[in-house]
Amino acid sequence: MKKVNFLSTLLIVSFALTKINAQAPAPKRAGYEGPNKLNTWALTITPALTQFYGDLRQHDFKLGPEEHLTGGLGLALHKQVSPIFGASLNFWTGNLNGSKQRIYNAHFESKGFLQTSINAHANLKPILFGYDKLKRWKWDVYVGYGYMWFNSKVYRLGTNNGTLLISSNTNRSSKTAGEWERDGSTYTREIVVPIGSAIHFEVSPRIDIGLDFTLNHVNSEKLDVTYGGGGADQYPRQDIWLFRKGDSKQDKWGSVGLAITYKMGKSAVMAKKDAKGNWVHDPAKGRYHLRYTNPLALIPPPYNPTMKEADSIAKANMPKPVDPRLFTDSDGDGVADLFDKEPSTPANSIVSGGGVAMDLDKYIKDIIARNLPKEECEAMFGNIEFDTDKAIVKDPSQQILRQVIDLLNLRPNCRAIIVGHTDARASDNYNVQLSKRRVEAAKRYLIRNGLQDPSRITLEYYGELRPLADNKSVEGMSRNRRVEIRILPMNDLRSTYPAGFRTGKKKEQEATKPAREKRQR
């Protein structure tokens, strides 16, 4: 019997755990441990009336001779695993008595018994009625496994407890437990299997009240120290402790009590009804208890805006328009119109950082004439022209490069940055290599024509990544094929060359094409 009860309990608990997710599925990261957490622990105290069922029992629903009402007190710690399944650790203490005049002419008392068990619970309310009907109610059925410790004494009827017939704590009482050697021990131990049902009502976010009905099956017919069969010499015989099976069934005891539950946890709240009579859960207000809440109810439904709402949202989040002058360079001097102080300088002009045309010869002469401090360097841009798909400096641009040589030789505290660009009529890789060859050609020209310190030349090349104009027209592509020169102080180690802007969609990198692609530019 012990093994059967234990295996049955394991099967029930295993079935409960395997069905948790199927009964109350919780989306990933939105369940009991997700962002919308729920409270899961509760503590229940149950004052109850107790009743014995066994050999020394005259009537089932009324008191027999020399019987009186008995009671007990239960304490349970609950853990709700899902809205349907849960578990509890239970403790009971109380009194039992019973009597039977026929056959036995005896009654028994078992005062201060103790019992503990682990119970598995199933909430039938959401299974039978759903989560939203009878929202405040919870109907549990449960089964458990545990141990009971009792000290029973049998007295002869009519002697006012004066004649003790037999007691469970005799020098052989250890045999009722089957394994303990505790002669004269106060209690006898037996396995017990509680089966019951409880109905709870949610009074407040913290308190539930309800009724609890339990029938405890004790794995012995000797709770009343009587094993059946009767006869005048039932009690003088000590072979009651020899596990002899009598004519009666195993003993039971039951209870009916008022269950008062305190729901533990942080920021406890409970569901409310809205104006339409629907139950509403708002996780922002606090934590709901899993005893009464389906975790799916805490997940708001997806928002599907109408076309009108989507249009208004898009307009509200649309970025402010960018000044188009930031993307254009009308005179092709390398300075965007937004910052260009002279937006109509002639082609191939040498300009300052503000787009103002400069006379390089006059500038150099003024430097010599005024004998300016050596730490001053004026930033300038120059445009060096190349033929299509070529890296040979054209004659008109050679004069600009010779002026740069004179300036750098005159001012050793200055350095030059040569920046190369192309149009977009080839792959990105090919254009980068072409711009690299052009800036290297400009550097070679400076060195071969008298630049005294080549280490002051820095090369940068960007291919088609920083266009000045749209690459869809011949004029625009011509403006994009350029090499720019900027003069900076030697102590300015970081390049301040302004970032360019793409006017067209960047082409996919053609990884399978060779680096030297023969295409007209």
Q: What is the largest CA-CA distance in the chain?
A: 143
In the block, tokens 């308190």 appear at 207
Do residues 335 and 381 make contact, with C-beta atoms less than 8 angstroms apart? Answer: yes
* pLDDT given for residue 246 in this prediction: 60
Tell me how far CA of residue 477 lies from CA of 36, 424, 516, in angstroms: 58, 8, 20
Please name the amino acid found at residue 253.
W
Count other Cβ atoms within 10 Å, centred on residue 8: 13
Do residues 330 and 344 make contact, with C-beta atoms less than 8 angstroms apart? Answer: yes
Helix intervals (H) in 306-458: 307-316, 360-370, 395-410, 428-448
State pLDDT tens for residues 191-232: 999 999 999 999 999 999 999 999 999 998 888 888 776 655
Tell me how far CA of residue 172 lies from CA of 55, 166, 314, 385, in angstroms: 21, 12, 87, 117
Burial class (CB in 10 A: 0-12, 13-18, 19+), 351: buried
In whole angstroms, give the CA distance from residue 316 to residue 296: 32
In whole angstroms, give the CA distance from residue 167 to residue 217: 21
Put simply, whether the predicted model's pTM sits higher than 0.85 gets the answer no
Give mean pLDDT in consecutive 10-residue pieces for the chain, a chain of 521 residues.
Answer: 45 44 41 71 97 88 89 97 95 95 89 96 94 93 95 89 80 46 63 97 96 95 78 55 61 96 94 89 90 88 82 82 72 75 74 72 62 54 70 78 84 86 85 89 88 88 85 80 82 52 41 42 42
In whole angstroms, give the CA distance from residue 367 to residue 365: 5
* pLDDT given for residue 25 in this prediction: 44
Burial class (CB in 10 A: 0-12, 13-18, 19+), 28: exposed
Q: Give the N- to C-terminal CA distance of the chain in Å, as an integer.
A: 96
In whole angstroms, give the CA distance from residue 310 to residue 111: 74
* pLDDT given for residue 216 in this prediction: 97
In whole angstroms, give the CA distance from residue 36 to residue 27: 11
